[in-house]
Structures are given as structure tokens and as C-alpha cells.
With several copies, the nearest count.
Chain A
Amino acid sequence: MAKVKKIINETENIVSEVLDGYVAASMGKLRRTADRVLVRSEIEPGKVGLVIGGGSGHEPVYTSYVGKGMADASVAGNIFAAPAPQFVTAAIKAVDQGKGVLLVYGNYAGDVLNFDMGAEDATDDTGVEVRTVLVADDCATPDLATRRGIGGGFYQVKIAGAACAEAQSLEEAEAAVNKCRQNLRTLGVAVAAGSLPETGEPTFTLGDDEIEIGLGAHGEVGVERAKLMPADVLTKKMIDHLVADLPYQAGDRVALLFNNLGATTQMELMIVARKAFELLGEMGIEVARCDIGAFFCSQEMAGFSISLLKLDDQLEHLLNAPCESITFSQG
């Protein structure tokens, strides 16, 4: 197979140039620091800080979700690799306003190791208090503690952004984001692989007529490898799996997120959305908010994920609170 063409310059400069792109497009609202940190130019004094981050290559997550009502800084690793700890330390120091800093990032071994060490170093240096709420929404695997962070991470970051903007204390923000984590489930489906920009090689292989339900954002194996099936059949499988996992129940109010992993068309997402609304309606689950788009990608992987977040008044308020960032804003 031919290598996937990418519009880039030198591969070793990708992450740095992407960060410069965000700074340019922010028109003064963001700046770079410590090489791999994107930070708000002005942070409200006395607010609880929020730092997000992870491996690059999943843009817009996590790097771009920095701004008023979102994260105060993001830390970018190399493509699909956790960022080194000194960048985490620098980000924490850059956003700390004396109220402590919350970390939100995906539950991957490499990220946990690097963010933990980075946070400890920051605390050793300045005494800043740091708490972490991992994104661990992928219900493709059974064990809660080791679940991966995928598309629902967008909701968790959004809620963390609003919580840290409003909260009086780090504990209060942490508790809200923890509640989001508890109520959030995502299931993805991969239709075709993305590629590594350094090599143009695919990140995994699927047969010409195969899809994999639950495949992870880096090609980790999922729930079921299956033949291509009609959208309605696939949607039912995914919704049934998701709903049973929490479980979501009749009378629940939810936010519903359709996330494009990269190359899937909006046409397909809308066909799936139509069926998902129908199925949730039949189950008596009320959709209070719906988001559709590319929030958490895996290069140009074809596929999508569906996330459900069970809402209470607090979570709904935080999800709907205004925010600004390069790729997602709401009034």
C-alpha cells in the first residue's frame, strides 16, 4: 500500500509547528512555554488551575482545548506518546494561582507515569497542590480501573474547564469532574486505520470488509472484530453495550456525543445519530444535549465513537457553561 500523504514539513518539527499554529490562530490568547506547553496568556487570578494533555496526533484533543472556561494549559507529547514530566511540571507552575491545579488526561500507563512525576516535581518545587481525574470512558474493556480515555474526554475536559472556572476550591472542582468520570461511557468503532505521520504506515490493519468495535485510539484491540454491517445494526450494538455498562436507565437525562475519529463523513455520523436518538427514545432515556464532530481524533482513522454522559443539574450547568478555544466555543 502506498504511504499516506501528509502536508507537513520535517517530521521532527510536527509537534512544535502544531503548537505554533495554535498560538497563531489564537491571536494573542495563547502562548507557548517550556517547549511543549500551550498556556493562556491571561489566567483569572485566584482560579483553580486546569492542565490537560497527552500524546499528540489526536488533535483537537487535548492540545487545542485551552481557553477561557476550558483548560488553562495543555501539554503535548510526541505523536501517540505521553509528554515528559518536566513539561507537566512547567504547565502546572504556569497556571497555578495559589488555589491548586487539577490534571485531566487519558488513563494510559505512560501518561500516568509522566504526569505523576511531573506533578510531584511541581509540588516539591513550589508546594502547589495537584489532583488528578483520569479520563477512562472507554467501556470496550471490562475492568473499570484500567479503562482507556477516548472520545468522551471532550466532555470531561469541558466540564473540568467550567468546574475549575467556577469552583471555590480544588476539592470542589475535583469532585465535579469525578462525578463526570463516573457517569461517562464511550464506545468506538474503527473502520480503517490512520497512519503515523513519521512513516506514513497504518497504525493497525483491518480486512477490506472488516470493522472493529471498541478498538482503541492507538489500535489497541476492542470488543469484537466484525464484518461491515448496516449502520442501524452497528448503532444498536453500540448503544446496547453503552447503556448496559453504566447502566443508563429510563428517566435518565443524558448528553450524547458523536465523535469523528478522523476520516468518517458527517453523512455517516448523522445516519448513526438518527438511529441512536430513536433507540434512546425507546428506552426512555432523554437526550438533553447532543454534540457531533471531530473532538478526539486518531490521525485520519475512519470510525467514530458514541459517548453518553448522565446529567444532573450540576453537570448540565457545567457542560452548558460558556467557553472559548480554537476548535470549540459556546456562548
Chain B
Amino acid sequence: MELSIDQTRAMLVAMCDAIIENVDVLTKADQAIGDGDHGVGMRRGFKAAKEAIEAAEPGSVGELFKAGGSAVIATSGGASGIIFGLFLRAPAKQLSGQTLDAAGYASWLTAAATQIQARGNAKPGDKTMVDAIVPAAEAAQAAVGDGLLAVAEAGAAGAHRGKDATVEMIASFGKAKALGERAKGHPDPGALSTTILLDAARDYVKEQS
């Protein structure tokens, strides 16, 4: 199974909608261990991404990812603007074809994990969204042989495992860092966003299957 350009567009729009709908969940998560603006910033970014994705006239699947990611970067602000902008924009060059298949989906998550770590300098264990995107990418790669739906499911499941693991971590990055031990007991807000995005993508792929 593969997604066409228009199906990919619909998948990306569903991901944007999921963020927009979950703004309060994200606000609460960031209030617990950060400064409370993650929800508002993500909504700002993914609203703009949705518009850009809907308006795009892409020559490849990757150009849709690029339009969305660039919009997040340009409008979201804060740490998460760059991080979640890269989450979408990272695979833009690789996905130069007209469809998104299992290998493409997995390469998206891998590119995101790589570029986000390269730019943000957070490593697994620092209690950031890196703890969700890295296991998501690994699980997705391992499932490539099983087709697109399996990859999407593995990605979402990997993100959830990573997000759950952040609950017991103390933060080494961002505004939760100064909390030290007090950050324990709460998941990282960005890891939570990662699960919301990959859940929405998986749900869309499932519908189309």
C-alpha cells in the first residue's frame, strides 16, 4: 500500500487537526513542568501548516512535508517551532516521488529523528520529544517489510513507549531542566505531541487500508 499525493495531504491535515484539537492537553502538560505555552505554540504552528498544506501545489510528496514544516517554523516560535517544523520538513528532499510508501514513511521518521538531534543537541534520556521520535523511527524501520500500515502502527507505538519513558526522567533541556527531580511524574509535553501526531497519521493510514 502507498498513499498518493492527495492522500498524503489528507494524512498531514489530519495530523494538524489532531494538534489543534488537543491544545488544552498540551497546555496542561507544559504547565506541569514547563511554562505552559506548548499548546498555544503548537496550535499556532499547525494551523499555519494546515493552511500551507491545503494550499500547496506539490510536485512531490516531500514538497507537502516541506510546506507544512516551513509553516510551523515560521509561525510557531519557541523551541517547539523549530523542533516540530523539522519533524515535518526533515524528509522533504528524500520523498521526491509521487507516493508515500512503507519505506518512505520510515525514512520520514528517521530523518526527523536525525535532524532534530543534530540541531537541538538533545539526546535520548534528556526528557524531550527526542525520546519519542527515536524509538518511533527505529520501530518503523524494523517494520518496513510488513507494509505501510505496519510501519505507521509501529511508529505510533514506538512514540508512546518513548513518551511513557519520559515520565520517570529528569529533564536536561528547556524550561523543565531547572525543576530537577520535580519534573519526575510528568511526561514531556513535546513527546506527548509526537504521539498525538503519529497516532493521527496511523489512524489515517488505517482508514485507507
Contact = CB atoms under 8 A, between A and B. Distances in A.
A116 B119 contact: yes
B119 A117 contact: yes
Interface string B176-202: 011110100000000000000000000
Question: Interface majority SS on B: helix, strand, loop or mixed?
Answer: helix
B77 A114 contact: yes
B81 A84 contact: yes
A84 B178 contact: no
Interface string A8-42: 00000000000000000000000000000000000
A110 B178 contact: no
**A interface, size bucket:** 20 to 34
A181 B180 CA distance: 25
Contact of A113 (B37, B44, B82): B82
B142 interface: no
A31 B180 CA distance: 43
A27 to B, nearest CB: 30
A81 interface: yes
Contact of B120 (A86, A109, A140, A222): A109
B156 to A, nearest CB: 26
Interface string B66-108: 0000000111111111110000000000000000000000000
Contacts of B77: 55, 77-78, 81-84, 110, 114
A34 to B, nearest CB: 11
Question: Interface majority SS on A: helix, strand, loop or mixed?
Answer: loop
Contacts of A86: 73-74
B206 interface: no
B82 A117 contact: yes
A94 B81 CA distance: 23
A109 B173 contact: yes
Nearest to B174: A109
Contacts of A198: 40
B131 to A, nearest CB: 15
A205 B47 CA distance: 31
A55 B175 CA distance: 14
Interface in A53-85: 55, 77-78, 80-85
Given A78-B41, A78-B44, A221-B180, 11 more contacts: A55-B77, A77-B78, A82-B79, A108-B79, A109-B175, A110-B82, A146-B177, A203-B36, A220-B179, A221-B179, A221-B182
Interface of B: 35-37, 40-41, 44, 73-83, 119-120, 173-175, 177-180, 182
Interface of A: 55, 77-78, 80-86, 108-110, 113-114, 116-117, 140-141, 146, 196, 198, 203, 216, 218-222
